Structure 1
């Protein structure tokens, strides 16, 4: 036994089997060290004649040894009043809807760990596809059969179907990690993704001319959008590159004929 602090928890090395490192000031408080190196703060207590285990959280942001100890003291105080925190948490988790869990997923995972562009893709899948379909469902209730049906409803857009399935799979991996779904089953596992065929098509000369005329008309009301689309068509840049373009990125000396810059071919 030792007082759990940043030094002792960091020094705890994984072994072939998981083990508990107990705090010497609060005997019910410990950090569980898994063979993978994952470290989780827990407390043990008795309720109704049975030994119970309550998981506080994984070591790292936001749980430090000091914060976890304070939480252990708070939870044990509830135990002394006759409450069973583990049962109450289990009931809360079983009742959690996918809409509510999605907000936590976006706030605590997507906005913290992903790059800006990837955040947008994840939010799109969550807000446009996952929540409208499953928002009122409980996280604990979603099965593989429902996921297969959901994935199949987007077979006409295989790229989006596969990306949304990937986001949903990550959500349920975290639901298991965060203790919200405790059956250890990711309902997305084993769902076969669609084959994605890369398609490439270029506008014809006539289509370029029609696009140019439409942009000329739109330039009065939406000049920035018209210019951005014209740049996309003339340069072949990605959308994100044009959206974040700065003057420092522009080479003022054109390598192209003057007639090709800012003008579409006429019919």
Structure 2
């Protein structure tokens, strides 16, 4: 028959050699489970469906001690009442336990969608954001439990990196859209939707004629006599350094050629680093790139670019030699960071400024002195911007410039529209010349709108 479960009964229960249950005499299905170890918990037992043949299910309400007997009774009554209304609490809990975490969904998203359908560079970028920003903050949570508030909080915590924060939002949205389509989360669930992105100030740096001259001189110096470098004379290793007149770094022809090709073609960095000799058609002045950011692309090779390629030693299948040149599994060069840092410094593209915190406060060292850092004012990607700016400023038209750059959308080239001044300048000159001629009494014909009247 059982007895009413209360504190006195709970205190009197002792473990036995095997697990047993003590059921409440008033609320059918409410009981206490006592394990051989002595651990006890409140449970609720209910029937799934109607009829004597319907299966029964038992769920744990709470460990004894975490809630009072009366609180456990109230919770059990709710579970049993839900079962009568058709809600299976035990099954819901099982599904919740088996639901994937955000980390698990993200891994499937990368493996089954990004790596399979996106370019390698895109996959690397996605994986970096997920590993660096998303997983540490929310990866252990069940994916279907992530709320907009959770994502908004993460976005706010990345306020010092607005561009990366916005990329995180975009990737999170794509991740949940994909997961919804696969049934991993509820379809339509997108906790990144509705969160306002940070304003991104586009950085478009164009080299001036004087800066191009300095860059050209630095490249010539780098490939001939070498670029001088400084040694910290206070360092214990300074005595082993070469003599001042011998402190120069000579860059190999391929690193210098890569920088020149970026300037002469407007190509993206990976397009030059991954370029193979088999893709270069010297006769027609074209490089056929099978896989770029915007798909297949024909890279136009100017006379200057062809001259660079003609003078370049051929070592392996890649135009720009990497560390594995000539090997059976040859790979393209990874980057140009060190050569560019050396050339940029020599060309005067480095500025010194006080380091500040994300809040804009100056950073001081242990002695209270401001910490000064060096920043490059020109990036490698700015060489592509410079190529585009010269084309737009020469009146070649944004359509032609966009084709040379390999832009898939005209809107991408529109960023250079303010440089395409020649058509506007010619129009302004034509209009003002006619007005000036009329004011000076010189013969000219003014076009009068149909709704206006010519002066009498």
TM-score (norm 1): 0.53
Matching residue within 138, 143, 148 for 1:139: 143
Q: Deviations over 1:202-224 (max 9, x none)?
A: 3424456557766863746xx76
Aligned to 1:170: 174
Offset of 1:188 from its aligned partner? 0.6
CA–CA separation in structure 1 for the residues paired with 2:92 and 2:107 = 23
Greater shift, 238-247 or 137-146, is seen at 137-146
| Structure 2: unaligned runs, 5 residues or longer | 1-46, 55-89, 227-248, 286-301, 312-342, 348-456
Mapped partners of 2:92, 2:305: distance in 1: 72
Whether the 8 Å contact between 1:218 and 1:226 is mirrored in structure 2 is no
Partner Cα separation in structure 2 for residue 218 and residue 149 of structure 1: 49
CA distance in 1, matches of 2:269, 2:111: 26
Q: Which runs of 5+ in 1 are unaligned?
A: 1-46, 52-83
Q: CA deviation at 1:180?
A: 3.1
CA distance in 2, matches of 1:232, 1:162: 28
Equivalents in 2 of 1:101, 1:257: separation in Å? 46
Q: 1:231 aligns with which of 255, 261, 269?
A: 261
Please give the per-residue CA displacement for 1:128-166, whole angstroms capped at 9, x wherever unaligned. 322233222332332212211222333444433222211
Q: Tell me which of 88, 93, 97 is aligned to 1:91.
A: 97
Question: How many aligned positions are there?
Answer: 184
The correspondence for 2:197, drawn from 167, 170, 193, is 193
Specify which structure has the higher proportion of helix.
Answer: 1
- Distance in 1, matches of 2:172 and 2:160, equals 19
Partner of 1:121: 125
Contact 2:219/2:256 (<8 A) preserved: no
Higher relative CO (CA 8 A, sep ≥ 6), structure 1 or 2?
1
CA separation of 1:211/1:160 partners in 2, compared to 1, >3 Å: closer, same or farther?
Answer: farther
Alpha-carbon shift at residue 123 of structure 1 (Å): 2.2
Structure 2 CA distance, aligned partners of 1:218 and 1:98? 49
Say if 1:158 and 1:194, in contact at 8 Å, map to a contact too.
yes
Q: Give me the whole-angstrom Cα distance separating, in 1, the residues matched to 2:142 and 2:269.
A: 37
Q: CA deviation at 1:247?
A: 1.6
Deviations 1:210-261 (A, max 9, x none): 57766863746xx766654453345431022113212244354762399988
- Is 2:48 aligned against 1:48? yes
Q: Does the C-alpha gap of structure 1 residues 255 and 211 become closer, same or farther in structure 2, counting only changes over 3 Å? A: closer
1:256 aligns with 2:304: yes
1:191 Cα deviation after fit: 0.7
Q: Distance in 2 between matches of 1:178 and 1:250?
A: 43
- SS of equivalent residue, structure 1 residue 256: helix
Instruction: Tell me the secondary structure at the aligned position of residue 131 of structure 2.
Output: helix
Structure 1 Cα separation of the partners of residues 121 and 145 of structure 2: 31
C-alpha deviations, 1:84-131, integer Å up to 9, x for none? 9886444210xx322222111111221223344432332232223222
CA drift of 1:187 comes to: 1.0
